[in-house]
Amino acid sequence: MTLYDALVGPFAEFAFMRRALVGSLALSLGAAPIGVFLMLRRMSLTGDAMAHAILPGAAVGFLVAGLSLPAMTLGGLVAGVSVALLTGLVARTTVLKEDAALASFYLLSLALGVTLVSLKGSNVDLLHVLFGSVLALDDQAMLLLAGVASVTLVALALIYRPLVLECVDPGFLRSVSRAGGPVHFIFLGLVVLNLVAGFQALGTLLAVGVMMLPAAAARFWSNALTPMFAVAILVASLASVAGLLVSYHFDLPTGPAIILSAGVLYLVSVAVGWSGGVLWRLAPPRHHRAA
């Protein structure tokens, strides 16, 4: 097998591989920067919880219309936004902290979603909802992924300054502006939107992987925000390409292959990343002689 056959041939020969590649790259472009902000705001597990939160809405859409992209997307959006609002309400009106409230709602959502899908669908339908079907992206799914990536990048550009300030010093932002609350909810909306888009390709259980693993890997290559965005998008894109190729050549499930590829890149970054990687921390410090 030549290098062309191994790396380029699958995409040149098969339209479904090209669609999967374009869809995965679009998802990487929008989800990776969101993951960086989640990491900086110490909300990494929030993405995982919200990924589970969209499951009941997607399940209701499935019960109503089957494997219909518009119905499942709308259901997922409604469920995700509802859980975010309910979490904020419980955290502000009771003694329960936001992380505990979110954990409670996401566990309920996961159990409810799996139960709803199981009521009507087969095990194949359940696997499709939980783990996605990136090799079966149609025109509607492609437009959704591209649209969500575009909306995400534009929205992040518009709220960039207050969002960064909220990550660094939320107290100062509250003292000089009332934008903190609206920006927080806009950001949560973007998280839900990208998880719903990722759900179409990777399923509810893996969508958060392409969001958080590249962001975590990027932290080991730069301390500056802009390079971190670039590295996260690059890692997510490389993981998408590698996962698709591994899935094609070794007949593995595509979604998990993409996330495992991102995990490998994360472990490499942990080991050799020059901004806090293990090898750089273990390297002996250089001593300079006086002239």
One pLDDT digit (tens) per residue for the chain, 291 residues = 788 889 999 999 999 999 999 999 999 999 999 999 999 888 877 787 788 788 888 878 877 887 677 888 888 888 888 888 888 788 778 888 877 888 888 788 878 887 887 776 666 666 666 677 788 888 888 999 999 999 999 999 999 998 988 877 777 777 777 777 788 888 988 998 898 888 877 876 678 899 999 999 999 999 999 999 999 999 999 999 999 999 999 998 888 899 999 999 999 999 999 998 898 888 776 655 544
**Nearest Cα to Cα of residue 102 among 87, 92, 90, 113:** 87
What is the C-alpha separation between 40 and 18, in angstroms, rounded?
33
**Nearest Cα to Cα of residue 113 among 93, 97, 100, 129:** 129
In the block, residue with structure tokens 């410090």: 285
Burial group, residue 235, by CB count within 10 angstroms (0-12, 13-18, 19+): buried
Is there a contact between 149 and 26 (Cβ–Cβ < 8 Å)? Answer: yes
**Predicted local distance difference test score (pLDDT) of residue 289:** 53
Instruction: Return the beta strands (E) in the chain as ranges.
Output: none
Domains of the chain, by residue range, sit at: 3-282
The length of the chain is: 291
**Predicted local distance difference test score (pLDDT) of residue 288:** 54
**Predicted local distance difference test score (pLDDT) of residue 175:** 74
Is there a contact between 142 and 22 (Cβ–Cβ < 8 Å)? Answer: yes
- CA torsion sign for 96, 97, 99, 102 is positive
Is there a contact between 93 and 35 (Cβ–Cβ < 8 Å)? Answer: no
CATH topology for the 3-282 domain:
ABC transporter involved in vitamin B12 uptake, BtuC (1.10.3470)
Is there a contact between 57 and 78 (Cβ–Cβ < 8 Å)? Answer: yes
Burial group, residue 263, by CB count within 10 angstroms (0-12, 13-18, 19+): middle
**Nearest Cα to Cα of residue 103 among 39, 45, 35, 40:** 45
**Predicted local distance difference test score (pLDDT) of residue 291:** 46
